[in-house]
Amino acid sequence: MSIAVVSTGGTIASTDDSGGDATPDLSGADLVAATPGLDDVALRVEEFSTMPSPHFTVDRMLDLAVLVRDLDADDGVEGVVVTQGTDVLEETAYFLDLCYDGETPVVVTGAMRNPSLASPDGPANLLAAVRTALDADARGRGVLVAFAGRVLPAREATKVHSQMVDTFRCPEFGPLGVVEEGSVTWRRRAEHPDPTFDPDPDRLTNDVAAVYVTADAPASHLSAHADATVVCLAATGAGHLTGELVDALEDLRAADVPVIVTTRCPEGRLARSTYGFRGSERTLRRLGCLYADLNLQKTRIRAIVAHAADRLDDAFAAP
Ligand code: DAS
């Protein structure tokens, strides 16, 4: 039995030997060779890509999900570790989670400091991810993120700092566990398991807009997306829009564009029956919007996956 390490690029695989501009150029085999503490673990390496994570497309995310499913079906694989750049790691991890209901642990990790810098964090993160994937209690927990000693559910993990090494957190509810001295101490389970989707590659599209509502935002911020396949909206507070955005929302809904609303607050969910002013949850309900309880970028990933599986209504709640 072995742990499959799937290398995709990112800072963990970047060097700046060319004079200060780090770019991904290391293979998965290089990452494994540079990580102390793996001698007792049988590893196999899958070289998936060598790219910065902002270059990841949803098509590549689906390719990665197919690979993860194939590895789960392989009796020789005990766990899967995916290394990726941190910028969109939370989106890739959640994409994988939405497409995966296997028992084999799948753990995503990366690094904030590349191997050319003092104190690179990649080796420690890779080691912690492998130890997590080997932990019997990691089985059946869905896709996990292991980073800076924390183990987080893909659904909740989000990058909260642009530079610090302990950038991945779960706002509101905290990590599932922590890795210390190579073993995981689990403290909670991820409640609210998501349905699993089987996206049709031919329906997969990146044409799902993500709009962040801001004070006095004009109608154009929303109407610019009148042709989008789906629009995801991070509303203020418990689910509120500016007056002008309501005008644009009415037009979108009249044109049958699905609109999925979440809150722009890092913690908490949308209200259903607290406010009644124009642009409140009453408006969202009247216009047949759907509700999400995820951050905006994860809401968009869920919309992309659910749309590709032709299950959009099934994937989000009505207000
Ligand atoms: N921000 C870099 C990283 O942390 C780049 C990337 O996401 O690929 O990996």
Domain boundaries, the chain: 2-186, 208-315
- Known catalytic membership, residue 205: no
pLDDT along the chain (319 residues), means of 10: 97 83 95 96 97 98 98 97 98 98 97 94 98 97 97 98 97 97 95 90 98 98 97 98 97 98 97 95 97 98 98 91
Is any ligand 1 atom within 6 A of the Cβ of residue 281?
no
Determine the topology of domain 208-315 in CATH: Rossmann fold (3.40.50)
Phi, psi of 230 (to 5 degrees): -145, 150
Is any ligand 1 atom within 6 A of the Cβ of residue 105?
no
Is any ligand 1 atom within 6 A of the Cβ of residue 165?
no
CB 81 within 8 A of CB 129: yes
Centre of ligand 1 to C-alpha 175, Å, is 22
Bridge partners (DSSP) listed for residue 47? 7
Centre of ligand 1 to C-alpha 62, Å, is 20
pLDDT of amino acid 41: 96
Is any ligand 1 atom within 6 A of the Cβ of residue 110?
yes
Bridge partners (DSSP) listed for residue 147? 150
pLDDT of amino acid 35: 97
Distance between CA atoms of residues 272 and 277, nearest Å: 13
User: Would you state the structure tokens that stand for residue 12, as one six-digit string?
Assistant: 């963990």
Centre of ligand 1 to C-alpha 48, Å, is 16
Residue 317, helix vs strand vs coil: strand
Is any ligand 1 atom within 6 A of the Cβ of residue 112?
yes
pLDDT of amino acid 299: 98
Is any ligand 1 atom within 6 A of the Cβ of residue 92?
no
Q: Which of 8, 11, 83, 283 is catalytic?
A: 11
H/E element, 108: strand 106-109
| Measured CA distances, 265 to 28, 38, 277 (Å) | 37, 40, 20
Q: By alpha-carbon position, which residue is closest to atom 4 of ligand 1?
A: 86
Domains 2-186 and 208-315 share a fold: yes
pLDDT of amino acid 76: 97
Determine the topology of domain 2-186 in CATH: Rossmann fold (3.40.50)
Centre of ligand 1 to C-alpha 131, Å, is 23
